[in-house]
Homo-oligomer: A and B are copies of this chain.
Amino acid sequence: VTRQRPSIGLPGNKPLVILCRPQIGDNAGAVARAMLNFGLTELRIVQPEFGWPNAKAVAAASGAAEVLNGVRIFATLTEALFDVQHLYATTARNRELNKPIVTPAHAAALARDRCAEGRRVALLFGAERTGLTNDETALAEMLVTIPTNPKFSSLNLAQAVLLLAYEHYRLHGDIPPVRQPATQAAPASKAELQGAIDHLLQELDAVDFFRTPDRRVSLSLAITQMLERRALTTSEVDLLRGIVKELARGRPGRARASAT
C-alpha cells in the first residue's frame, strides 16, 4: 500500500496511542480529547481497570467522539501490537534499559518519517501510578521522556499524551512562528509624522510649555524621538493631531490662567 505523508487535518497514516492497564476511566476520555486536539485519532487500550464503553471517559472526552468511538480494547499488549512496526514507550524516569532515550520532539520527527514510509508507529503509555513495566517496554525501540522539573516531575496521563500529540501536530502543521495581522496598517510617512509633531510643538509654544529656548531644543527632540520610535500609523497620527487640537482648545467655559 502506498501512503502519502498526511497533511494537517486530513486523514493519513499517523501514530496511534496505546494505553497499557489504565486505571481511571476519566483519563481515557481526557487522552481521547488531547489526541484529537492535535489530530491523532487511533486509541487502543490494553487491560483497562474500568469497563468499556465508559460514561466517565465520555464526559472527560468533551466531544472527542471520533477517537472514543474507534477505541479498541485488547487483552494483552502483544495483541494490541498486531500491526505496529515501531514502538516508542513513554517513561517518566530514566530506566536502566539498554535503549536510547529521546525527547518528545525527536520522537515526533522519527514518527513522522516512519509514517511517511507507510509504517505503523505506536506511542505507548503505562498505568497512571506505576508506568510501564520492563516487559512492556522490551519491544520498544526507544524511550520517550518528557523533560520536566526534576523537583516536580509527575505529569498526569492525559498531559503526557497531550505533549506528544502536540509535538506530532507541530511537525505536520508547518506553522509560521509569527503571523502579522492581516489588517496590519502601514506606518505613516515621515512627513505625516513631522506634520503632527510640528502641530504639537506649535500648540506647546502657544501655552509656553518649553519656558526657555534651551529646553525647547532638548524637549522637542525628545518628543520627536518618542513619537518616531512608536512607528505610528497614518490613522494614529491623525488621532494624535485630533487629541492635540482638542486639548489645545481647553475645557469648555474655562479660561486658561496666565503662566506668571
Contact = CB atoms under 8 A, between A and B. Distances in A.
A166 interface: yes
A256 interface: no
B169 A148 contact: yes
Contact of A163 (B97, B162, B185): B162
A221 to B, nearest CB: 25
Interface residues on A, range: 35 or more
B38 A149 contact: yes
B101 A178 contact: yes
A4 to B, nearest CB: 19
A90 to B, nearest CB: 14
A177 interface: yes
B147 A169 contact: yes
Interface in A173-209: 173, 175-181, 183-185
Contact of A101 (B36, B146, B147, B181): B181
A41 to B, nearest CB: 10
Nearest to A95: B181
Interface in A133-187: 146-156, 159, 162-163, 166, 169-170, 173, 175-181, 183-185
B179 A100 contact: yes
Contact of A159 (B100, B148, B159): B159
Interface of A: 9, 33-34, 36-39, 62-64, 66, 96-103, 105-106, 146-156, 159, 162-163, 166, 169-170, 173, 175-181, 183-185
Given A37-B155, A106-B177, 8 more contacts: A33-B152, A36-B149, A36-B152, A62-B154, A100-B181, A102-B177, A103-B170, A147-B169
21 contacts: A36-B152, A37-B154, A37-B155, A39-B149, A63-B152, A96-B181, A96-B183, A100-B179, A101-B178, A102-B179, A103-B170, A103-B175, A103-B176, A103-B178, A105-B177, A106-B177, A147-B169, A147-B173, A149-B169, A159-B162, A163-B166
The 5 closest A-B pairs by CB, nearest first: A106-B177, A36-B152, A147-B175, A39-B149, A101-B179
